[in-house]
Amino acid sequence: MQEIRFHGRGGQGTVLASISLAKAFFEAGWEVQTFPLFGVERRGAPVEAYLRIAHEKIRLRSGVYNPDHIVVMDAKLIGAIDVTRGLKPGGWILVNSAVQPEIELAAGDFRLAWVDATGIAVAHRLGTRTHPIINTAVLGAFARTFGMPELAHIETAVRQEVPVKKEENVAAARAAYDRVHFLKGEEA
């Protein structure tokens, strides 16, 4: 079983990203479980969502404390909250950022990747310039970073989940897949 924690802000589609990714993994034949941070969500406030994937039925029903990997939807959360808390050594951190994000962790404790999901969302006219809808781009970058699920399964999930501009969202996921940056030598 692998556990992934998403960090974002209320209104950014963080929970929806986790649900869409769960559906993509399910399409690819995985057992899945996803849930938001149990509580009250407010626009702009930090939110979390969690995803478990496994090849057998997932029985564990408690919080995620030691995730295998982390996805950060907003680079400005780094430093404001401890986005790497509990991360297992060697896990991926995928950040939505136009530049290399600064994360304080000893080298070798994690693998870093980033993608300009905001820029890609704006270029595909998803949301507005001030409030772009970035989650489908993040999903494309996830598939590239982790080598799973296949982009085709992300595309299926995006078409199912996104109510409007389905093809633009699929195009954003594809574009992000091709534009993931890796810290040198760490490419998957």
Partner 1 sequence: MRQVLEGSHAISEAVRLAKVQVVAGYPITPQTHIIEAISQHCADGSLKARFIPVESEHSSMAAVIGAAATGVRTFTATSSHGLALMHEVLHWASAARLPIVMGEVNRALGPGWNIWMDQSDSLAQRDTGWIQLYCEDAQDALDTTLIAFRLAETVNLPAMVVIDAFYVSHTFEPVDVPDQETVDRFLPPLEPRFRIDVDHPQALYPMVGPAFFMEMRRSIQDGMEAAGPAFDAIAGEFESVFGRRHSAVETVGCEDADLVLVTTGSVTSTARLVVAQQREQGKRVGLCKIKQFRPFPAEMIRAVLGSAPRVAVIDRNVSFGSGGIFAREIQGALCPLEQRPAVYSYIAGLGGRDITPETIAEVLRLAEETPAPEAESRWVGLNPDVKP
Give the Cβ contact number of residue 38 at 10 Å: 7
Which range of residues in 17-25, 97-105, 111-119, 176-184 is near partner 1 by CB under 8 A?
17-25
Beta carbons of 186 and 112 less than 8 angstroms apart? yes
Which range of residues in 15-23, 105-113, 134-142, 164-172 is near partner 1 by CB under 8 A?
15-23
Residue 65 DSSP SS3: coil
Rounded to an integer, what distance in angstroms lies between the CA atom of residue 51 and that of residue 5?
7
Is 153 near partner 1 (CB under 8 A)?
no
Give the Cβ contact number of residue 129 at 10 Å: 9
Q: Tell me the closest approach of the beta carbon of residue 142 to partner 1, in angstroms.
A: 17
Give the Cβ contact number of residue 186 at 10 Å: 12
**Which of 44, 55, 62, 184 lies at the binding interface for partner 1 (CB under 8 A)?**
62
Is 33 near partner 1 (CB under 8 A)?
yes
Q: Which residues bind partner 1 (CB under 8 A)?
A: 19, 22-23, 26, 31-36, 38-40, 58-63, 65
